[in-house]
């Protein structure tokens, strides 16, 4: 009889614990459900939209699980193929391309590269290769490529900024601050832009910018710059006058500073002098058209 009583007591305790666990689970479920209901109620989505979101999450999780299991099983190629097939069946294939960040370049070339992968399952879209292809376009300084599930590819372009016009033998080319050639430009469109010329001048744009940064008052006056003999710059002002600078960055900066000071004192730019030779700075040699003839005439009258 004693053994029977102990057995009944244990059974009662187990039943009580089981009931307590069930009650706790119901409370936790009610609390979680209530919290979830409040979150869903606060979010600006309808029940149908929530259903689509949950379905997309479930499909994505299933696809990830299949890919992970197959990969761990040592069959990555088969895993990728199966993963892509499942994604395609679920509607995860490339149908839409969105390009942002373009202002001057022809977007059609970007779309052409992206749409070469049209209708591919999203896991098979090679965004790394596509990014490199887009970055090879003349106007593209950088590009970011990302996926927006279920079917959209987003390409964000960082364009190069036109800075000057490179004068070639047969055409004018827009270039940026690094000297990268962007596009052909007409003489009319290039009329108000800085023009650079001379063999190797496009590779010396950084050097030219350093001179302008050192003496910014001069930059607005310069209409063209010629890189001479792969050694030094000649500046041609809007007035048509020429300033010949010496070789070497430091010497050129010093000569330009001296010229800017003299121009402030004597208004050299826009005056009678046609050219200023500062190749042997600090001396400056000025040429005035017709002056030699006038000097000779004066000598003959003496």
Averaged over 33-43, what is the pLDDT? 54
- What is residue 167's predicted lDDT score, i.e. its pLDDT? 95
The yes-or-no verdict on residue 219 having pLDDT over 50 is yes
Q: How confident is the model at residue 289 (pLDDT cuts 50, 70, 90)?
A: confident
- What is residue 282's predicted lDDT score, i.e. its pLDDT? 80
Question: Which regions of the chain does DSSP assign to beta strands (E)?
Answer: 96-100, 140-148, 152-159, 164-167, 172-175, 181-185, 195-197, 222-228, 232-237, 242-244, 275-277, 285-287
Model pTM score = 0.63
Q: Is the bond preceding residue 282 a cis peptide, omega within 30 degrees?
A: yes
* Least reliable range by pLDDT among 74-78, 149-153, 166-170, 297-301: 297-301
- What is residue 6's predicted lDDT score, i.e. its pLDDT? 46
The yes-or-no verdict on residue 224 having pLDDT over 90 is yes
Q: How confident is the model at residue 39 (pLDDT cuts 50, 70, 90)?
A: low
The yes-or-no verdict on residue 170 having pLDDT over 80 is yes
Q: Which residue has the higher pLDDT, 278 or 94?
A: 278
The residues of the chain that CATH labels 3.40.50.11690 are: 164-293
CATH code of the region 93-159: 3.10.20.310
Which SS3 state, helix, strand or coil, does residue 175 take?
Answer: strand
Q: What is the pLDDT of residues 72-126, one digit of tens each?
A: 555 555 555 544 555 444 456 778 899 999 999 999 999 999 988 887 777 778 8
- What is residue 231's predicted lDDT score, i.e. its pLDDT? 94
**Is the CB of residue 105 less than 8 Å from the CB of residue 159?**
yes
228 C-beta neighbours (distance < 10 Å), count? 17
The residues of the chain that CATH labels 3.10.20.310 are: 93-159
- CATH class of the domain comprising 164-293: alpha beta
Is the torsion defined by CA of 78, 81, 84, 85 positive or negative? negative
Determine the Cα–Cα distance for residues 96 and 166; give it in Å rounded to an integer: 38
Q: What is the pLDDT of residues 48-70, one digit of tens each?
A: 665 777 677 776 676 677 666 66
């Amino acid at each position: 009889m004693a053994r029977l009583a102990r057995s009944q007591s244990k059974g009662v305790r187990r039943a009580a614990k089981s009931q307590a666990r069930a009650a706790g689970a119901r409370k936790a479920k009610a609390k979680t459900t209530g919290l979830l209901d409040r979150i869903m109620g606060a979010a600006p989505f309808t029940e149908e939209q929530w259903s689509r979101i949950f379905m997309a999450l479930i499909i994505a999780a299933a696809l990830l699980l299949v890919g992970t299991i197959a990969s761990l099983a040592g069959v990555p190629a088969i895993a990728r193929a199966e993963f892509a097939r499942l994604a395609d069946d679920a509607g995860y294939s490339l149908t839409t391309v969105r390009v942002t960040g373009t202002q001057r370049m022809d977007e059609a070339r970007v779309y052409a590269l992206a749409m070469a992968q049209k209708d591919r399952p999203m896991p098979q879209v090679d965004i790394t290769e596509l990014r490199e292809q887009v970055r090879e376009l003349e106007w593209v300084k950088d590009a970011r490529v990302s996926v927006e599930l279920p079917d959209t590819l987003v390409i964000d372009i960082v364009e190069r900024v036109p800075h000057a016009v490179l004068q070639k033998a047969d055409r004018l080319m827009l270039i940026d601050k690094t000297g990268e050639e962007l596009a052909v430009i007409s003489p009319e469109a290039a009329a108000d832009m800085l023009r650079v010329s001379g063999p190797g001048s496009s590779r010396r744009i950084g050097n030219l910018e350093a001179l302008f940064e050192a003496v910014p008052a001069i930059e607005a006056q310069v209409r063209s710059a010629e890189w001479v003999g792969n050694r030094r710059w000649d500046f041609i002002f809007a007035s048509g006058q020429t300033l010949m600078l010496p070789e070497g960055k430091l010497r050129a900066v010093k000569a330009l500073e001296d010229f800017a000071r003299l121009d402030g004192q004597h208004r050299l730019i826009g005056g009678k002098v046609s050219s200023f030779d500062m190749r042997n700075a600090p001396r400056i040699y000025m040429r005035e058209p017709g002056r030699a003839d006038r000097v000779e005439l004066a000598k003959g009258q003496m």
